[in-house]
Structure 1
Amino acid sequence: MSQTTSNAAQGLGQATTLASGFQFPSIHNFPPFYTLQPTASTWKNQSDLWGTVIMRYYRHHRLYQLDLDDSTTNDQLFNNQRISRALKPETIQAIVEEMVKKGDAEWDATSRKRRAIIFWRKPEDWAAMISSWVFESGLNNSILTFYEIAHGENSEDQEFYNIHPTVLQKTMDVLVKRGVATTFQGANFEEMGVKFFNAGA
């Protein structure tokens, strides 16, 4: 939105807080926020703001995949019943496209731009986090399966627990490229293995 529009949005009162504890910014209650703005500069500001809201929402709820055809997951995000406004699917798609350009999202190649992975934390950051956990836990002398990292008992209290497979694969690619780890093929994705070489990413 324009600076004037953004300033106007600040006067909308208290931001909406969901039962999950997530708090939307006040602009989420601003009706023009739900209409694709025709001016390039205004659209850039609008799409940037929406991108920030999406990443914060997905991080808070530990979500990774945005599906334009899944109305349940994103209902509270894109459909504001308080002001009777909702983003159209084509507008959501345009916002995600802008996020993709900035490296904050990636389209599922098989979905014809209907599904995307949201990178609310970059693979490089996940790589540092997982590497630190491996060495602090004394697991660097073992071959870990991708399943053990994403769903194992030892990782239940870690932020990367239940990490999306696409994000985990990109994280492993970062670690391999840095020379920190090597991966091993398995019968399926979850049975793929990784072994760490040295102390950290």
Structure 2
Amino acid sequence: MERRRFETHVTSTGFKLPSIHEFPALFCFQPFSSARSNQEDIWTRLILSYARHRRLFTLCADDAEKPSSDWHEVLSNERIKRKLTGQQVTTLLQTLVSRNQAAYEPPKQLSSVILYWRKPEEWAEVLHSWAVATGQLNTIMTFYEIQNPAIESDLTDIPSGLLRRAITILTKTQRAQFIEGGDGDGVRFFSGN
């Protein structure tokens, strides 16, 4: 009997899926803790690297059930006729949150997260570097201006919750100050220490 050889696969978006994605058991959560932990490690790395590749900030349990989802090519494998269920994705969301690789957004629910393919601390540094490079020190900027800059940047479309976390980190080092106003939340950046 010939053994099946698992190969990498490049998706329509140019993401290279690892050969393990061809393994049917990856899509069936294992009952034994050591195998399950290894499986969760694989899925979290896969989800975070795919999110970074596609610049996807959120993952919802419902994404497993929608063929039109941005996540379809990772959460399913048509070649082997396997896919994750919404419940399995919910379990992975819990794993991501428990490992501080995601946060529930909105809070107080368990079916949607903001993914930390960059940690909030890393986003804080990206944000401050952007403010320095674009000459925004001592200037009040709205969240909208940061999320929708005239020239696309790493911060384009960053979710408000993640942006707020990054600014909070900068406030602790005196490199930013929250500004509340009638036109929405804003921030002023400082050079810092």
TM-score, normalization: structure 2? Answer: 0.90
| CA distance in 2: counterparts of 1:118 and 1:138, whole angstroms | 29
CA RMSD across the alignment: 1.9
**Maintained 8 Å contact 2:173/2:192:** no
Aligned to 2:89: 92
Aligned to 2:6: 12
For the residue of structure 1 that corresponds to 2:178, the secondary structure is strand
Q: Deviations over 1:142-187 (max 9, x none)?
A: 1111111110204x1x212111111111111111122111011133
Q: For 2:115, which of 100, 103, 118 is the aligned residue?
A: 118
State the number of aligned residues: 187
Q: Which runs of 5+ in 2 are unaligned?
A: none
| CA distance in 2: counterparts of 1:66 and 1:150, whole angstroms | 19
Q: For 2:126, which of 92, 114, 129 is the aligned residue?
A: 129
Aligned to 1:170: 165
Q: Which runs of 5+ in 1 are unaligned?
A: 1-7
AA partner of residue 60 (structure 2): D
Aligned to 2:43: 50
Q: For 1:33, which of 10, 26, 37 is the aligned residue?
A: 26
**Maintained 8 Å contact 2:174/2:192:** no
Q: Deviations over 1:56-115 (max 9, x none)?
A: 111111111111123222211111101001112211111121111110011235573111
**Maintained 8 Å contact 1:135/1:199:** no
Q: 1:112 to 1:197 in 2, by over 3 A?
A: closer
For the residue of structure 1 that corresponds to 2:177, the secondary structure is strand
**Maintained 8 Å contact 1:127/1:172:** yes
**Maintained 8 Å contact 1:50/1:95:** yes
